[in-house]
Amino acid sequence: MGVRTAIFPVGGLGTRFLPATKAVPKEMLPVVDKPLIQYAVEEAIDAGIENFVFVTAHGKEAVENHFDRNAGLERALIESGRTDLLAAAQVGNTTPGRISYVRQMDALGLGHAVWCARNLIADEPFAVLLADELLRGDRPPLADLIDLHDRVGGNVISVIEVPEEDTGSYGIVAPGAIDGRTIEVKGIVEKPDPADAPSTYAAVGRYILEPAVMDVLGEGRRGAGGEIQLTDALAEVIGTAPFHAVVHDGPRYDCGTKIGFLEATIALALERDDLGPDIAATLARLLPQQTQGS
Q: Are residues 153 and 250 in the same domain?
A: yes
Q: Are residues 272 and 235 in the same domain?
A: no
Per the prediction, the chain carries an average pLDDT of 92
Q: Are residues 138 and 198 in the same domain?
A: yes
Of the candidates 103, 40, 91, the one whose C-alpha atom is nearest the C-alpha of residue 66 is 91
pLDDT score of 17: 93
Q: Are residues 125 and 25 in the same domain?
A: yes
pLDDT score of 291: 60
pLDDT score of 201: 96
Q: What is 240-287 written as a DSSP string?
A: TB-EEEEE--S-EEETTSHHHHHHHHHHHHHH-TTTHHHHHHHHHHHH
CATH of the domain at 55: 3.90.550.10
Rounded distance between C-alpha atoms, residue 212 and residue 154, angstroms: 10
Contact 154, 241 (CB under 8 A): yes
| Tens-place pLDDT, residues 174-193 | 999 999 999 999 999 989 99
Q: Are residues 285 and 213 in the same domain?
A: no
Q: What is 37-77 written as a DSSP string?
A: HHHHHHHHHHTT--EEEEEE-TT-HHHHHHTS--HHHHHHH
Q: Are residues 17 and 119 in the same domain?
A: yes
Kindly tell me if the per-residue pLDDT of 1 is higher than 80: no
pLDDT score of 290: 64
| Tens-place pLDDT, residues 37-82 | 999 999 999 999 999 999 999 888 999 989 888 889 989 999 898 8
Q: Rounded to 5 degrees, what are φ and ψ at 8?
A: -120, 100
Q: Give the single-character DSSP code of 200.
A: S
pLDDT score of 122: 83
- Report in angstroms the alpha-carbon separations of 152 from 40, 59, 121, 198, 269: 24, 40, 20, 24, 38
Q: Give the single-character DSSP code of 238.
A: B
Least confident window among 71-85, 112-126, 166-180: 71-85
- CB neighbour list of residue 130: distance below 8 Å, 6 or more residues apart: 9, 40, 110, 205, 206
pLDDT score of 92: 62
Rounded distance between C-alpha atoms, residue 267 and residue 91, angstroms: 22
pLDDT score of 69: 84
Q: Are residues 189 and 146 in the same domain?
A: yes
Q: Are residues 190 and 239 in the same domain?
A: yes
Residue, of 92 and 126, whose pLDDT is higher: 126
270 burial level (CB within 10 Å; 0-12, 13-18, 19+): middle
Contact 124, 161 (CB under 8 A): no
Q: Are residues 243 and 267 in the same domain?
A: no
Rounded distance between C-alpha atoms, residue 148 and residue 178, angstroms: 14
Look at the chain and report how many structural domains it folds into: 2
Bridge-partner residues for 30, per DSSP? 35
pLDDT score of 267: 97
Contact 200, 161 (CB under 8 A): yes
121 burial level (CB within 10 Å; 0-12, 13-18, 19+): buried
Rounded distance between C-alpha atoms, residue 110 and residue 115, angstroms: 9
Q: What is the amino acid identity at position 42? A: E
Q: What is the amino acid identity at position 41? A: V
pLDDT score of 89: 82
Q: What is 104-131 written as a DSSP string?
A: --S---HHHHHHTTGGGSTTS-EEEE-T
Q: Are residues 198 and 92 in the same domain?
A: yes
Kindly tell me if the per-residue pLDDT of 294 is higher than 60: no
pLDDT score of 161: 95
Structural domain that includes position 261: 257-294
Contact 141, 203 (CB under 8 A): no
Helix (H, G, I), strand (E, B) or coil at 149: helix
Q: Are residues 235 and 180 in the same domain?
A: yes
Kindly tell me if the per-residue pLDDT of 293 is higher than 90: no
Kindly tell me if the per-residue pLDDT of 242 is higher than 90: yes
Q: Are residues 68 and 103 in the same domain?
A: yes
pTM to 2 decimal places: 0.92
